[in-house]
Amino acid sequence: AGKSERKPAVRSVDFPVSVVLPAGGTGERTGLQTPKQFCSFLGRPLISYTIQAFERVSWIQCIVVVVARENVDLMTDIVQRFQHRKVRVVPGGSTRHRSICNGVLALGEGEAEEESPAADGPKVVIIHDAVRPFVEEEFLYKIAAAAKEHGAAGAIRPLVSTVIATTSEGYLDHSLERAKYRASEMPQGFTYDVIYQAYQRCTESDFEFGTECLHLALQYCGTNAKLIQGPPTLWKVTYKRDLAAAESIIKETLSQSACIITGGSAHAATLADGLQKAAGALHMELDVIPDLMGENTGYLLKEWNFIQISVNRCSLSEVEDLLKDLEAANRALLHPPVIIWVHLSASDEPSISGTVAEPAAIMDLASAAKLRNVLLYGIQVHQSKDTERWERSVLKVAEITSALIRERSPALVGQLLQA
Amino acid sequence: AGKSERKPAVRSVDFPVSVVLPAGGTGERTGLQTPKQFCSFLGRPLISYTIQAFERVSWIQCIVVVVARENVDLMTDIVQRFQHRKVRVVPGGSTRHRSICNGVLALGEGEAEEESPAADGPKVVIIHDAVRPFVEEEFLYKIAAAAKEHGAAGAIRPLVSTVIATTSEGYLDHSLERAKYRASEMPQGFTYDVIYQAYQRCTESDFEFGTECLHLALQYCGTNAKLIQGPPTLWKVTYKRDLAAAESIIKETLSQSACIITGGSAHAATLADGLQKAAGALHMELDVIPDLMGENTGYLLKEWNFIQISVNRCSLSEVEDLLKDLEAANRALLHPPVIIWVHLSASDEPSISGTVAEPAAIMDLASAAKLRNVLLYGIQVHQSKDTERWERSVLKVAEITSALIRERSPALVGQLLQA
Ligand SMILES: [Mg+2]
Ligand SMILES: [Mg+2]
pLDDT along chain B (419 residues), means of 10: 48 91 73 85 97 97 96 97 97 95 89 48 94 97 97 96 94 91 97 97 95 95 97 93 96 96 94 90 90 95 96 85 96 97 76 58 96 97 92 95 97 96
Any CB–CB contact under 8 A between B117 and chain A?
Answer: no
State the pLDDT at residue B350.
52
Q: Give yes or no: residues A146 and A275 share one domain.
A: no
User: How distant is the Cα of B295 from the closest Cα of chain A, in angstroms?
Assistant: 34
> Which of B199, B217, B249 finishes a domain?
B249
- Residues forming a β-bridge with B266: none
Q: Is A268 exposed, middle or buried (0-12, 13-18, 19+ CB in 10 A)?
A: buried
Q: Is A290 in the same domain as A319?
A: yes
Contacts of A402 in chain B (CB under 8 A): 411
- Residues in chain B with CB shorter than 8 Å from the CB of A349 are none
CB B176 within 8 A of CB B165: yes
pLDDT of residue B4: 44
| C-alpha radius of gyration, chain B, whole number | 26
Q: What is the pLDDT of residue B267?
A: 93
| Confidence at A113, pLDDT banded by 50, 70, 90 | very low
Q: How big is the CA angle at A146 (ends A143 and A147), to the nearest 5 degrees?
A: 80
**Separation between Cα atoms, residue B36 and residue B30, nearest integer Å:** 7
Ramachandran bin of B294, using left for φ above 0, alpha for ψ from -120 to 50, beta for the remaining angles? left
A415 chain-B contacts, CB cut-off 8 A:
415, 417-418
C-alpha to C-alpha distance for A123 and A101, rounded to whole angstroms? 16
Backbone angles phi, psi at B232, to 5 degrees: -60, -20
User: What confidence tens digit (pLDDT) does each residue in A370-381 have?
Assistant: 999 999 999 999
Distance from CA of A166 to the nearest CA of B (A): 7
Contact check, Cβ <8 Å, B249/A244: yes
**Nearest chain B Cα distance for residue A293, angstroms:** 33
Model confidence band, residue A354 (pLDDT cutoffs 50, 70, 90): very low
Please report residues of B whose CB lies closer than 8 A to that of A181. Answer: 163-166, 176
Q: Give the number of whichever ligand sits closest to the CA of residue B4.
A: 2
- For residue A356, the Cα-to-chain-centroid distance in whole angstroms is 39
Hey, which residues 200-219 in chain A have their CB within 8 Å of chain B? 211-212, 214-215, 218
* B31 C-alpha to ligand 1 centroid (Å): 17
Cβ contact (<8 Å) for A183 and B174?
Answer: no
Quick check: A30 pLDDT over 80? no
What pLDDT score does B281 carry? 76
What is chain A's mean pLDDT, rounded? 90
Question: Does an H or E element contain A87, and which?
Answer: strand A87-91
Record: contact B162-A176, CB cut-off 8 A = no
d(CA A65, CA A18): 11
Residue B375 in contact with partner chain A when CB distance is under 8 A: no
Residue A308 Cα distances to A221, A320, A350, B331, angstroms = 61, 11, 20, 41
Instruction: Name the region of A31 (left: φ>0; alpha: ψ -120 to 50; beta: rest).
Output: left
Q: Which of B29, B227, B403 lies at the smallest CB-CB distance from A171?
A: B227
On whether both A263 and A242 belong to a single domain, the answer is: no
ipTM: 0.90
For residue B138, how far is the Cα from the chain centroid? Answer: 16
- The answer to whether B359 faces chain A, any CB pair under 8 Å, is yes
Residue ranges of B 119-138 with Cβ closer than 8 A to chain A: none
Alpha-carbon distances, residue B365 vs A292, B65, B67, B319, B406 (angstroms)? 40, 38, 39, 9, 21
CB B187 within 8 A of CB B127: yes
Q: HEC states along B144-196?
A: HHHHHHHCEEEEEECCCCEEEEECCCCEEEEECCHHHEEEEEEEEEEEHHHHH
Alpha helices in A151-304 (DSSP H): 192-201, 204-209, 213-221, 240-254, 266-281, 298-302
Could you give the number of structural domains in chain B? 2
In this prediction, residues A196-222 reach a mean pLDDT of: 96
Distance A387 CA to ligand 1 centre (A): 43
Q: Are residues A274 and A234 in the same domain?
A: no
Please judge whether A407 and B402 are an interchain contact, meaning their C-beta atoms are less than 8 angstroms apart: no
Tell me the backbone φ, ψ of residue A89, rounded to 5 degrees: -100, 130
Q: Which residues on chain B are in Cβ contact (under 8 Å) with A215?
A: 162, 172, 175
Contact A216/A210 with Cβ under 8 angstroms? yes
Q: What is the pLDDT of residue A296?
A: 96
Q: Is A181 helix (H, G, I), strand (E, B) or coil?
A: strand
Residue B353 has what pLDDT? 45
pLDDT tens across A223-281, in order?
999 999 999 999 999 999 999 999 999 999 999 999 999 998 999 999 999 999 987 77
What pLDDT shows up at residue A28? 59
- Which of B41, B172, B275 best probes binding to A when mutated, by most A CB atoms within 10 angstroms? B172
Q: Which amino acid is at B298?
A: G
Find the mean pLDDT for residues A306-335: 92
Which of B321, B317, B315, B397 is CA-nearest to residue B357? B315
A179 and A228 both lie in a single domain: yes
Which segments of B166-283 does DSSP mark as H helices, in order?
Answer: 192-201, 204-209, 213-221, 240-254, 266-281
| Burial class, B61, CB count within 10 angstroms (exposed 0-12 / middle 13-18 / buried 19+) | middle
**Is B340:B378 a contact under the CB 8 Å cutoff?**
yes
| Domain boundary residue, one of A246, A272, A303 | A246
Task: Give the dihedral sign, CA A46/A47/A48/A54.
Answer: positive
Q: Are A66 and A24 in contact (CB under 8 A)?
A: yes
Q: Which ligand is nearest to the CA of B57?
A: 2
Res A352: pLDDT? 47
Tell me whether B416 touches chain A (CB under 8 Å).
yes
CA of A69 relative to ligand 1 center, distance in Å: 29
Contact residues, chain A, for B249 at CB < 8 Å: 241, 244
- Among B190, B223, B249, the domain-final residue is B249
Residue A331: phi and psi, rounded to 5, are: -75, -25
Number of residues assigned to chain A: 419
| A272 in the same domain as A177 | no
Q: What is the pLDDT of residue A121?
A: 78
Q: Do B184 and A173 touch (CB under 8 A)?
A: no
Does B356 contact chain A (CB < 8 Å)?
yes
8 Å CB contact between B173 and B167: yes
Predicted confidence (pLDDT) per residue in A143-178, tens digit: 999 999 999 999 999 998 999 999 999 999 999 988
Q: Which of B153, B154, B151, B156 is nearest to B221 (CA)?
A: B151
Q: Which of B30, B149, B160, B161 is the best residue to mutate to test the A interface, defined by the most A CB atoms within 10 Å of its own CB? A: B161
CB contact under 8 A, A224 and B415: no
Name the pLDDT band for A404 (thresholds 50, 70, 90).
Answer: very high
**Which pLDDT does position A109 carry in this prediction?**
79
Judged by its nearest atom, the ligand closest to the C-alpha of residue A140 is 1
> Considering only CB atoms, which chain A residues are within 8 Å of B152?
172
Q: Say whether residue A399 is in contact with chain B using an 8 A CB cutoff.
A: yes
> What CATH number is associated with residue A356?
3.40.50.360
Within 258-277 of A, beta carbons closer than 8 Å to B belong to: none
Distance A153 CA to ligand 1 centre (A): 20
Helices (H) and strands (E) in chain A, counts: 15, 17
- Ligand 1 midpoint to CA A79 (Å): 19
**How many Å lie between the alpha carbon of A116 and the closest alpha carbon of chain B?**
35
Distance CA(A51)–CA(A128), nearest Å, equals 10
Report yes or no: B76 at the A interface, CB cutoff 8 Å. no
Strands B44-45 and B40-41: antiparallel
Residue A21: which residues within 8 A CB-CB, separation 6 or more?
Answer: A47, A50, A51, A54, A63, A64, A65, A66, A103, A127, A128, A129, A130
Whether residue A353 is found in the same domain as residue A386: yes
Residues from chain A that touch B244, judged by Cβ atoms under 8 A, are 244-245, 247-249
pLDDT for position B27: 55
The model's pLDDT over A298-307, given as tens digits with 9 standing for 90+, comes to 999 999 999 9
The answer to whether residues B383 and B243 belong to one domain is no
Q: What is the pLDDT of residue B112?
A: 47
Q: How close is the Cα of A134 to the center of ligand 1, in Å?
A: 4
Secondary-structure percent of chain A, ordered helix, strand, coil, rounded to 5: 45, 25, 30
- Burial class (CB within 10 angstroms; exposed 0-12, middle 13-18, buried 19+) of B113: exposed
At B118 the pLDDT is 47
Q: What is the 3-state secondary structure (H, E, C) of A281-295?
A: HCCCEEEEECCCCHH
| A156-195 residues touching B, CB cutoff 8 A | 156-157, 159-167, 170-176, 178, 180-185
- CA torsion sign, B123 to B127 to B133 to B137? negative
- Facing A162 at nearest CB: one of B184, B218, B416: B184
- A245–B244: do the CB atoms touch at under 8 Å? yes
Cβ–Cβ gap B355/A355 under 8 Å: yes
Say if strands B124-127 and B17-22 run parallel, antiparallel, or are unpaired. Answer: parallel
Residues B183, A175: C-beta atoms closer than 8 Å = no
Q: Which residue has the higher pLDDT, A357 or A285?
A: A285
Report how far residue B68's alpha carbon sits from residue B26's, in angstroms, rounded to the nearest whole number: 9
Q: Do residues A129 and A215 share a domain?
A: yes
Are residue A234 and residue A326 in the same domain, yes or no?
A: no
Same domain as A171, residue A89:
yes
B51 CA distance to ligand 2 middle (Å): 11
B379, B407: one domain: yes
Residue B313 belongs to domain spanning: 255-418
Rounded to the nearest angstrom, the distance between the alpha carbon of A135 and the centre of ligand 1 is 5
Task: Determine phi and psi for A163, rounding to 5 degrees.
Answer: -100, 130
Q: Does A80 contact B at CB distance below 8 Å?
A: no
CA B1–ligand 2 middle distance (angstroms): 5
Bridge pairing between strands B181-191 and A162-166: antiparallel
Does the CB of A315 have a partner CB in chain B at under 8 Å?
Answer: no
B15: domain CATH number?
3.90.550.10
Q: Which of A161, A172, A183 has the CB atom closest to B225's CB atom?
A: A172
